[in-house]
Every structure is written in C-alpha cells, then in structure tokens.
C-alpha cells in the first residue's frame, strides 16, 4: 500500500469515531497523520478499535505481520507518544485508537512542534472545527463558575465543580494547556492568563499523567485554588460531559481551539451543552463594561444603553456574572442543542469520551431496536444519521472496526 493510500485509509478509520476526522481539499489531515504515525504505526493503528481491547485480540488482526511481542512494543511506543490510547487492567494492557480532540492533540504536551501546531490550527479552520462542533452529544460541557448562581437542578453536583472536587477523593493533577503551549510556539501569547498548568485532571487519568511525568500532582486545596484562579482571570470551565468527569479545561477565547473555532460561527451557542444564558437587568446595570471584557465569546455588547446579550453567542459560562457590578445574571433555560435535551452522560470505562448509546439518537428516533451495543452505535452513528433503529444490530466490536 503506497503511503498516500495508507494515510488516507487511516484518515477514514479515524473518521468513523464518534468525534470524526474528516477529509479536506488541502490534505492537511494527512500531513498531521504523517507527523504522528510512521507507516508501520499507521498500519498497526488500522487494527485498533475505538473500544480498548487486549493485545491478544488485536494481534489476531495483524495476521503474522509481526510477533505479539513486537506488536506490543510498537503499541507501547505509540501510546507513550499519545497517538493511541492505553489503559491497564487485571488481565494486562488494553489499546485503542484515539480521536484528535480530545485525545491525540492534548497528548502532545511538551512535545508539540510549530509545524504540527500550524497544521492543527489550519485543520480546525478547514473542516475539523465544523466536524467537532457537530458532534452530539457534546464531549464537553460548559458549567457556570461556582459563585454565579445557586445550582438546584438534577445535575447540581456536576455543575458545581467546587462541590465535585470537595467530594472527590482524588488524585488530582494539572498539566500545561496544549492550546496555550501551541500559541506560544507560534509567537502568540495568551491574553487572559499567565498560568500554564490549568488543564485539570481527576482520578485514574490524573495518576497516569503524573506517572508519565506530563502532569504535576496537586492537592485538593491546590485544585480548588486553580478553579478560583480560573474564575478570577475569566476562563471558561469545560469539563468532560460525563457524570464523573476525568478532566476540566480552563479555556480562553484567544487560544482554545474549540472556543476560537466556535467564535467564527454566527450562532456558537448552538454547539455547546449548557443550561444557562446571560441576561441583563437594565435598571440595575451600571454600564461598567466589565461583563463585556470578561466574556470570551463576544456575546455582550456594552457600547450601547442598555447593555445587550446576544443569546445566539452566549454559552452560559457565567463569567460575566462574577467580579462585575450588579445587573447581569444567569437564567436557567434547560439547554437544547439542535433539539437535543440537556444530558450528562455515563462514561464509557476509562475511555476519554462519553458513552454513546441509543439514548443519544436524533430526536426523530424513539429508540434503537433491537437495543444495540456500544459498538453498533459507534459504527452506525445513529446519533448522526436520523435512523430510527440500528440495523443490523452488531454485538461484537471486532466485526466493524478494521474495515478501511
């Protein structure tokens, strides 16, 4: 298989993940893959599923191209560089393919190159940003900072990150933000914060990244302090959209790939899972302009009286509510993203993505029948296709993942 054809096959293989990896006219997606995978590694990556699997299962697909020991050594090298996922278990290591975001790109912390950063930014503009914004359910969620409002709905423990941290045993860790690191490499400094370690992690992921030497271990008190600092400096809190999040990104509108891409769209609020929208009380507003300065999405117009909130741009982060004069508040509106109800999802084992099941089908789908496995939803992508059922239902993950 020629290299161009090989990397195109890998692109299509990654494109079948819940977070797709689409083709572009320029071919920038192939340039990225060439920087992340050697040809031998690309062939091996074609044998990986989105679901973590043991080496024995994967080796059956290699079909004599290398011994099991050689394959495991190659997989370990790839996992160490962050191009695939690896997790330990009672029966040994398991491996799986990884999405570009959140996954491969973030794993390039401290080894990111200017060339890769420029290609990733170009890819966001040419196609990946639109594909990422179109993923349903969203893989991250916008939560208001803790001082904004009393959160009283069913997912209060999730939306109140302070309470989540206080009730989580840990361990906790913080790693450098890959987006800000990439901006620095290309000569652009963050305009919002000087703090480098504000990508926050919990539990097994925190332990794994600390063991690798990428993250620094922090105490519960330090973790709460980093959240307070994010609030004070005006960073958007984006945890993983699961009931027990493994990470929280502290994002700005000048560096974050997700936010900067969304800001280019006329209605960025349509692409975020949030339960709130900012409102202005004209009688109490003092026209101080602080709310507009803190907003990372250009959603507040403060050069007129009264101050106006463009709800199609507001993502409900609550930054405008804190550290400002009276007059701005958050209104709970029961978010719906393209008709999807607000949901916080169960996590799919140690995988860095939310579990995708028939419950997340398009609104026209009442249910998937027969009830599909996770594998069948991953392959049929019924949350994208408006299908009323997954047919034929698949029960074995290995039946779909290796087709180019």
Contact 323, 232 (CB under 8 A): yes
Q: What is the pLDDT of residue 350?
A: 34
Looking at domain 3-132, does it have CATH number 2.30.29?
no
Question: Chain centroid to CA 134: how far?
Answer: 12
Residues 48-79 pLDDT 10s: 999 999 999 999 999 888 999 999 999 999 99
User: Please, where in the chain does CATH 3.30.70.20 lie?
Assistant: 269-337
- Look at residue 222 and give its three-state secondary structure: helix
Those residues whose C-beta lies under 8 Å from the C-beta of residue 274, and which sit 6 or more positions away, are 141, 142, 143, 315, 316, 317, 335, 342
Q: What is the pLDDT of residue 391?
A: 41
Q: What is the pLDDT of residue 135?
A: 62
Residues 143-193 pLDDT 10s: 655 444 333 222 222 346 888 888 889 999 999 999 999 999 999 999 999
Q: What is the pLDDT of residue 332?
A: 57
Closest CA to 252 of 224, 275, 229: 229
User: Which CATH number applies to 269-337?
Assistant: 3.30.70.20
Q: What angle do CA 164, 261, 22 make, to 5 degrees?
A: 100
């Amino acid at each position: 298989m020629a290299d161009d054809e090989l990397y195109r096959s890998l692109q299509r293989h990654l494109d079948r993940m819940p977070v797709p990896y689409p083709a572009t006219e320029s071919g920038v997606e192939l340039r990225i893959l060439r920087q992340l995978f050697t040809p031998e590694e690309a062939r091996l990556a074609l044998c990986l599923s989105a679901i973590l699997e043991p080496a024995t299962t994967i080796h059956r697909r290699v079909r004599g191209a290398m011994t099991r020991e050689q394959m495991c050594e190659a997989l370990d090298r790839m996992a160490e560089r962050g191009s695939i996922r690896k997790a330990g278990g009672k029966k040994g290591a398991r491996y799986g393919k990884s999405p570009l975001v959140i996954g491969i790109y973030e794993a390039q912390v401290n080894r990111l190159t200017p060339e890769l950063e420029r290609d990733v930014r170009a890819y966001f503009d040419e196609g990946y940003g639109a594909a990422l914004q179109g993923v349903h359910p969203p893989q991250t969620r916008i939560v208001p900072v803790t001082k904004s409002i009393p959160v009283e709905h069913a997912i209060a423990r999730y939306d109140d990150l302070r309470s989540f941290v206080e009730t989580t045993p840990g361990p906790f860790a913080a790693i450098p933000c890959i987006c800000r690191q990439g901006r620095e490499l290309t000569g652009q400094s963050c305009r919002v914060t000087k703090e480098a370690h504000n990508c926050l992690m919990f539990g097994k992921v925190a332990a794994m990244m600390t063991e690798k030497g990428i993250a620094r271990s922090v105490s519960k008190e330090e973790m709460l302090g980093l959240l307070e600092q994010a609030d004070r400096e005006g960073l958007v809190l984006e945890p993983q959209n699961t009931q027990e999040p493994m990470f929280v990104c502290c994002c700005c509108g000048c560096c974050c790939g997700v936010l900067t891409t969304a800001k280019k769209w006329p209605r960025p609020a349509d692409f975020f899972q949030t339960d709130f929208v900012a409102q202005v009380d004209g009688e109490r507003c003092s026209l101080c302009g602080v709310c507009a300065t803190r907003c990372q999405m250009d959603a507040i117009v403060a050069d007129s009286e009264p101050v106006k909130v463009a709800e199609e741009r507001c993502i409900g982060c609550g930054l405008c509510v804190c550290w400002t004069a009276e007059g701005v508040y958050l209104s709970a509106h029961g978010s719906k993203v393209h008709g999807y109800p607000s949901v916080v999802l169960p996590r799919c084992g140690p995988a860095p993505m939310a579990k995708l099941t028939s419950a997340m089908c398009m609104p026209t789908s009442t249910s998937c029948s027969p009830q599909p496995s996770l594998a069948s939803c991953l392959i049929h992508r019924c949350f994208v296709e408006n299908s009323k059922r997954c047919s034929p239902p698949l029960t074995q993950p290995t039946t779909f993942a290796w087709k180019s």
